[in-house]
Structure 1
Amino acid sequence: MGCVELPRKNPTRAGSEKLTNITTVENAFNVFDRMLQKRPLPSLVRFTQILTQVAKLKHYSAVISLYNQMGFSLSVLGKFFKLGLEPNVLTFNTLINGYLLEHRVAEAAALFHKMMRAGNWKPNVVTFGTLIMGFCMRGNNCAAIQLLRKMEERPCKPDLVAYSRIIDSLCKDTQVVDALNLFSEMISKGIAPNVITYNSLMNGVCKLGEWKEATRLLNETVSKNIVPDVFTFKVLVDTLCKEGMVVEAEGVVEMMIQRDIEPDMVTYNSLMDGWLLFARRNR
Structure 2
Amino acid sequence: MLKMMGKTSFSSSSYSYCRSTRGMLFLHTTPIVALFPSKSSNSTKSRQTQRGKPRVGNVEHALKVFDEMLHSRPLPSAIRFTQILTQLARLKHYSAVISLNREMSLLGIASNVYTLTIIINCYCHLNQMGYALSVLGQFFKSGLQPDVATFTTLIHGFVLQNRVAEAARLFSKMLGRGHCQPNVFTFNTLIKGFCMIGNNSAAMELLRKMEERGCQPDTVTYNTIIDSLCKDTLVDQALNLFTEMIGRGIAPSVVTYNSLIDGVCRLGKWKEAKRLLNEMVSKNIFPNVRTFTVLVDALCKEGMVAEAKSVVEMMIQRGIEPDMVTYSSLMDGYCL
TM-score (norm 2): 0.67
Secondary structure in 1 matching 2:181: coil
Distance 1:115 1:121 in 2: 7
Q: Give 1:189's aligned residue.
A: 248
Distance 1:59 1:198 in 2: 34
Label 1:225 to 1:117 Cα distance change in 2 as closer, same or farther (>3 A): same
Q: Give matches, 1:66-85, under 5 Å.
A: 67=131, 72-73=132-133, 75-85=134-144
Label 1:105 to 1:36 Cα distance change in 2 as closer, same or farther (>3 A): farther
User: Paired residue for 2:74, among 12, 18, 28?
Assistant: 12
User: Paired residue for 2:191, among 109, 132, 138?
Assistant: 132
- Asked whether the 8 Å contact 1:141–1:170 carries over to 2, the reply is yes
- Asked whether the 8 Å contact 1:125–1:157 carries over to 2, the reply is yes
User: Paired residue for 1:235, among 294, 297, 300?
Assistant: 294
Return the offset for 1:54: 4.1
Question: 2:164 aligned with 1:105, yes or no?
Answer: yes
Distance 2:316 2:276 in 1: 19
User: Paired residue for 1:199, among 258, 264, 287?
Assistant: 258
User: Paired residue for 2:150, among 91, 106, 113?
Assistant: 91
Distance 2:154 2:218 in 1: 22
Return the offset for 1:174: 1.5
Q: Give 1:59's aligned residue.
A: 126
- Asked whether the 8 Å contact 1:206–1:239 carries over to 2, the reply is yes
Return the offset for 1:167: 0.8
Tell me which moved more, 230-239 or 163-172: 230-239
1:141-166 deviation digits (Å, cap 9, x = unpaired): 11111111111123321100011011
User: Paired residue for 1:47, among 87, 95, 116?
Assistant: 116
Secondary structure in 1 matching 2:319: coil
Q: Give 1:217's aligned residue.
A: 276
1:87-131 deviation digits (Å, cap 9, x = unpaired): 111111211112222222122111111111112111111111111
Q: Give 1:281's aligned residue.
A: none
1:217-263 deviation digits (Å, cap 9, x = unpaired): 22222222111012212322333344344565455445434533244
- Asked whether the 8 Å contact 2:226–2:241 carries over to 1, the reply is yes
Give aligned pairs, total.
266
Q: Give matches, 1:2-41, under 5 Å.
A: 3=59, 9=70, 12-13=74-75, 15-16=77-78, 18=81, 19=84, 28-33=97-102, 41=110
Tell me which moved more, 22-31 or 100-109: 22-31
Return the offset for 1:136: 1.3
Q: Give 1:158's aligned residue.
A: 217
Secondary structure in 2 matching 1:228: coil
Distance 1:26 1:266 in 2: 33
Label 1:13 to 1:136 Cα distance change in 2 as closer, same or farther (>3 A): same
Tell me which moved more, 95-104 or 4-13: 4-13
TM-score (norm 1): 0.78
Secondary structure in 2 matching 1:103: coil
Which runs of 5 or more structure 2 residues have no equivalent in the other structure? 1-57
- Asked whether the 8 Å contact 1:132–1:166 carries over to 2, the reply is yes
Given residue 110 of structure 1, which amino acid in structure 2 is its aligned partner?
R
Return the offset for 1:211: 2.1
Which runs of 5 or more structure 1 residues have no equivalent in the other structure? 278-283
Q: Which has the higher contact order (CA 8 A, sep 6+)?
A: 2
Secondary structure in 2 matching 1:60: coil
Label 1:248 to 1:122 Cα distance change in 2 as closer, same or farther (>3 A): same
Label 1:259 to 1:81 Cα distance change in 2 as closer, same or farther (>3 A): same
1:164-223 deviation digits (Å, cap 9, x = unpaired): 011111111111111111111111111111111111111112222222222222222222
User: Paired residue for 2:231, among 158, 164, 172?
Assistant: 172
Tell me which moved more, 94-103 or 252-261: 252-261
Given residue 74 of structure 2, which amino acid in structure 1 is its aligned partner?
T
